[in-house]
Amino acid sequence: MLRKRSAGSSSRSKTLLPDLKTFRTAVDALRTKLDGECAGVRDADGLEDLRNRYLGRKRGSVTLLFDQMKTLPAADKPAAGQMLNVLKTKVQEKLAALEESLRRPATRGPEIDPTLPGERLAWGAAHPLRIFQREIESIFEEMGFGIEDGPEIESDYYNFEALNFPPHHPARDDWDTIYLGGDLLLRTHTSPVQIRVMEKRKPPIRIIIPGKVYRRETPDPTHAAMFFQVEGLVVDRGITFAHLKGTLEHFLKRLFGDKLKTRFRPSFFPFTEPSAEVDIECLACGQKDPACRVCNGTGWKEILGSGMVDPQVFKNVNIDPEQYSGWAFGMGVERIAMFAYGIPDIRHFYENDLRFNRQFQLK
């Protein structure tokens, strides 16, 4: 009986599975079918049923393939056997993984209620100072300026000496800072980057340098021990004070509006000659309130320092002052932002109170 059935099935199988190629197709098809059926299993009963249909000792699909393998030509049997063993292992693994995943929800605790509102994640955003700095950068980029960067820990040479502050000169007192020992200090302005750039590169130079600077200050509404500056530097043949004036006026009008009144007031910096501080009209009182707290009734607000690069500075970086001239400026980012937005206390910028920060958005 047994032999007869196997003889019968083998003659049928021979026509169904004449060679290794067809056999492989049958093995692949079974594997694909299993994937589909696994996805449909919802519980332990379904899993048991699936296991029987594939691995059942008599009628399991995999078992039947083992039977059919015997009908292949002798030369094909080793390859077919290997194929089937791989298939069998795969099926066992799949079923085991399925069993595991059916068990997991029970140990995972209560089911998730997908109708509950989700947790809201706050989007990150640029800090108001960064936003303002970008606005400044983009105006200068429109005018063809590049952006440079330099170290916040500087040597005495770059922060002072190369900028024409002799040792012990009283001008240094206005730029007192934190000394780190040896020759190093936290830079008091972005001007040392002027030197670093001019050492590396020959004119024409047209750059701005945004960055953090440090001063020995007791914090109050208008002073902080760390704040941001944007430096500017232009060097080429034939550069005059008129270029400085035109560029800065254009910049300030782009920032504060076309009708803005500006004025250049003589000043002193060791590294520029002549030097000027630039004031803009007080937008808080419209130059009308003698008791204005923003401009102290003067009608003007000092916004930046500037001047023509001192010939001595050019000599320090081996640029010939007979051939080249240039100008530079430096402005406090907080100060301008405070003025533009009517922010009364510089410390708001560093407290990271989101009620403050969220009031500013990138345009």
Whether the Cβ atoms of residue 207 and residue 193 lie closer than 8 Å to each other: no
| 164, 177, 191, 247: which one binds ligand PHE (CB under 6 A) | 191
DSSP state of 215: -
Q: Minimum Å distance from CB 127 to ligand PHE?
A: 22
Q: Minimum Å distance from CB 258 to ligand PHE?
A: 26
Q: Minimum Å distance from CB 188 to ligand PHE?
A: 7
Q: Minimum Å distance from CB 213 to ligand PHE?
A: 7
Binding of ligand PHE at residue 301 (CB under 6 A)?
Answer: no
Q: Choose the stretch contacting ligand PHE; rule: CB under 6 A; options: 3-11, 39-47, 132-140, 304-312.
A: 304-312
Q: What is the dihedral of CA 210, 154, 272, 213, to 10 degrees?
A: 40
Task: Name the one residue in this structure whose structure tokens are 């048991």.
Answer: 48
Q: Outline where DSSP puts E strands in the chain.
A: 146-147, 153-155, 179-181, 184-186, 205-214, 226-236, 262-269, 272-281, 300-309, 325-332
**Residues ≥6 apart with Cβ < 8 Å to 222:** 335, 346
Bridge partners, residue 326, by sequence:
235
Q: Which is nearer to ligand PHE, 211 or 330 (CB)?
A: 330
Quote the CA–CA distance of 315 and 308 in Å, as a whole number: 14
Q: Which is nearer to ligand PHE, 27 or 230 (CB)?
A: 230
Q: Minimum Å distance from CB 283 to ligand PHE?
A: 22
Residue in 270, 255, 261 with CA at minimum distance from that of residue 363: 255
Judged by CB under 6 A, the chain residues 50 through 79 that form the site for ligand PHE are: none
Q: Which residue is nearest to ligand PHE (CB)?
A: 330
Quote the CA–CA distance of 75 and 226 in Å, as a whole number: 83
Q: Which is nearer to ligand PHE, 214 or 349 (CB)?
A: 214
Q: Determine the size of the site formed for ligand PHE (CB under 6 A).
A: 11
Q: Choose the stretch contacting ligand PHE; rule: CB under 6 A; options: 15-23, 125-133, 255-263, 324-332.
A: 324-332
Binding of ligand PHE at residue 307 (CB under 6 A)?
Answer: yes
> What residues line the site for ligand PHE (CB under 6 A)?
189, 191, 231, 269, 272, 305-307, 328-330
